Structure formats: structure tokens, C-alpha cells
Amino acid sequence: MTQTASDSVLSADGEQRRFASLDPRTGEVVAHHPIHTAAEVEDAVSSAREASAWWAGLGFEGRKTKLDAWRRVLSKRADEFVALISAETGKPADDSRVEIALVLDHLHWAARHAGRVLGRRKVFQGMLMFNHSATVEYLPLGVVGVIGPWNYPAHTPMGSISYALAAGNAVVFKPSEFTPGVGTFLASTFSEAVPEYPVLQVVTGLGETGSALCSSGVDKIAFTGSTRTGKKVMAACAATLTPVLVECGGKDALIVDSDADLVAAAEAAVWGAVSNAGQTCVGVERVYVAEDVADRFIELAVKRVRKLKPGGEPTADLGPITMPSQVEVIREHVQDALDRGAKALVGGPESIRPPYVEPVVLTDVPEDSLAITEETFGPTVVINRVPNALEGVRLANQSKYGLGAAVFSKARGEELARELRVGMVSINAVLASAAIPGIPFGGVGDSGFGRIHGDDGLREFTFSRAVTKRRSKALVEMATFDRSSLAGKRALRLARMLFGR
């Protein structure tokens, strides 16, 4: 007998509720996890608050030593981690391995660069304030709450967890109810490497647990998920002026210019659309290809897609749809496009056989179709012809989302990238932004705001503190009621001499 992830049962004492995490390939229970109450979430935050003082006090080098130790534990237990990710998401083993590789890379980067990015530095004080020195440093917020997704249950939340920890914060992590075991694994391995204090804790449960974390008194919430849920998180946090970082997915477009390497562009488009069964926030959901190369591009893409098959075995090209309700969203988007006159080059409604969806390629899709305007989050892709790449950019920018995009062009890649209203652009590649630790990851519009990864990602979990120190007497004393009647005139005259020309 199988359960749904939200099925909860009572323990022997009739009090502690729990829920099951399921293998979406089979419906079998992977494990049971507690549904933490609001009181338990507050207790976790309270203990994290105590731990944060010790953690911040270690300094950058002390934290780096601890984070490096955690990274080694994760590396040693990688096979176990791979199996767990695949069990809870259904994704092929190689996809899980790549995800863990990214976790290790980002954790290494954050620990190594936190001191450089956040440490105290001198700032030029300006000519008018020559008699002062000025410094800026970035200090940890205290306790950061992270609410993670299920599609990349390790890599995506670690984009917040790694950087928040490196910046000196304690973290309370609420993983998706579909992948609670991954969150528990991260917390337990951290405790193995850092046993002194509960610097990283996990709370498991359904939506109520996430809501409790938002109102628990954390100093910031980092959320990844749907735009609809992101708005609820923002509303909950607004009551206490808790700042939020929100990454809400996208409807990423790939632009294929007339001079593109079509073989590479087709392979990238298929990978970006179908890998992880299309369950990728920066995956390719729309392709706009220049008319004069469209036939060849479509031929190459269709040929590649037809070789791909979903399955539950470790070597499958793509796994199941992890969240059962998403299957109906995919079905609705495909059917809506076809009803509006689109053509299915590969697959169609018959490709949707839960929990699996075979790849679907649509063309001639009207721009007001759901498959164009809303995030599908499945192994489907729209390929539409455009007169030229600039028209593709224009259509790409019509989306309410603005997370990422890709451009394939030999001569105009950077020119086209500058015109795209998104947070990230890959030129002659797809998904590259997510894999480079040193650059910021995030979007605009309905894709949310704030940044993880890179220098910006480290600063996201801090507040800046500016310190000035008077070193000598000023030429013109302004900050006193004993100033002369000529002081203001002299200050303005000096400013005009320095800056008015």
C-alpha cells in the first residue's frame, strides 16, 4: 500500500504527527519524518540563536575549517547521498551525482571567499572628509531560515545554506515535503563535522511548518519555489519586517541566431528542456530560432529528443515527475497549445503517463498559450520560428518571468545577451549560471529578487556596517553650533572648486 507525501499518522502516544517521503518511481515509502509544530520550530530557532554567537565568533578562517570538514564528510558519503536523492526525486543516479558535485563546489567557494568579500575594508573618505577614515564590513544577520524545493533538493538550498553559514549565520532549514530525507542528511552530516553547537538544523513538515518558520523570529528567509507560494512567504514575513530572498522559477528562453552552431544549439536545447524531466527553474522552456536556420535546427532537435526515454532505472535518460500534481499542469499546457493550433513534432497528450512524461516538442505555439506564458516544469519545449534573433529577444522579454536565458550566436552573443531582461544569460551553452559559484544567481519580475551564489550571495546574508573615525581637525568645521558665519560659504566654495567643474 502506498501513501501520498501529505499522509500523516499518529504515533503511539497520539501526539506526534509524521509524514512519508515517497519514491515517485514506485510510490513506496522511503522514510517517515516528523511534522514539526510551530513550537518546535521556535525551539529550533532559539537554539540556533545561541549557536550563532559561537559560530560567528569563529571568524572566517575558523568557519572555513569547519565547513571544509563538512565538505569532506559529504564527499566520503557521496554514494549514500546519491541513492537518497534518487530515491526521493526519482532522478537518474548520474543526475544526482552532478548535483552533489555542485554542492561540493559551491561549499568550497563560499568558505574560501567569505573573508575576502565580507571582511573589513578601507573606503576612500572623500576630499571634504579628508580628516576622517572610513571602513565597511559585512556582519552576519544571526539566524537564517531556508525553505527549499524538491527538484534539486541539495544543490538549490545549499546555494543559500552554504553562503549563509560562510557569512557567519546559523541556519534552520525546512526542506520540501517531497525530499525531507535530503534535508535531514545535510543536517546530520553537518553535525558530524561540527558537533559543538546546532548551527545547522532541519525542521520537516508540510506547508504549516514552513509558515511557522516565516513567523519564528529568524533574521531572514531564503525561499525557492513557486511564485504563488513566494507571495505567501512574503506576506507572512511582512508582519514582522523579516527580509526575504525569493527565487520563484522561470520560463527561460533560448535564442538561436542565424550564425549559430546548430548541432551544439540543438543538443543544448534538448538538454536544457528535458534533463531532470524538465523540472529545472532555469531549464529551457521556449526556443526562438531564426527562420533561415529553423528547419535544420528543428530536424536536429527532434532527432535527438526521439532517442530519450523516461524510466526508473539508474541509467534512464530522465526520471518521473516528482510532484504528482505537476503532471496535470503539464497535460493542461500541452493540450492548451494544441487546441490553439500548435503542432506536436514529438509526443503529445499520449506522452503523459504518470508518474512519467515522455518528451514533448511543440511548434507554432501562439504567444498567449499556457505553454508560453506559464512555467510548465516538465520535459516539454516550444520551438517557434522568428524572422531574426532580435525578434526572439523581444518575445522572450514579454514573459512576466525573468530568471535566465540562453543565446546561441557566433558573432552577436554578447549583444543579444545585453538585451534580455533576465538575471542570467548563457552564451553558446545552457544552465551554465547555476554551475559557476562565483557569479550571482537570481532573477527579476515574477522570478523573484535577491541573489544566491558569488559575492552577492554572501552579502545577501549579512548587513553592512560603516565605521568612520576622526583623525584630525577639519579645514572647515561644520558639525558644530560654534561654527563661524563663514563656514557654510567656505564649505560650498571648496566643493565647487573640487567638484563643480
**Residues noted as catalytic:** 247, 281
- Beta strand pairing call for 244-247 and 401-402: unpaired
| Grid cell in block for residue 460 | 545577501
| Grid cell in block for residue 486 | 563663514
Question: How many helices and strands (H and E) does the chain possess?
Answer: 17, 23
Residue owning grid cell 571582511:
119
Phi, psi of 317 (to 5 degrees): -70, -35
How many other β-carbons are positioned within 10 Å of the β-carbon of residue 340?
Answer: 15
Task: Point out which residues pair with 137 in neighbouring strands.
Answer: 465
d(CA 162, CA 253): 29
d(CA 148, CA 186): 12
Give, for 222, the enclosing helix (H) or strand (E). strand 220-224
Contact present, 90 and 24 (Cβ < 8 Å): yes
Contact present, 280 and 424 (Cβ < 8 Å): no
Tell me how far the alpha carbon of residue 273 is from its chain's centroid: 17
d(CA 202, CA 406): 35
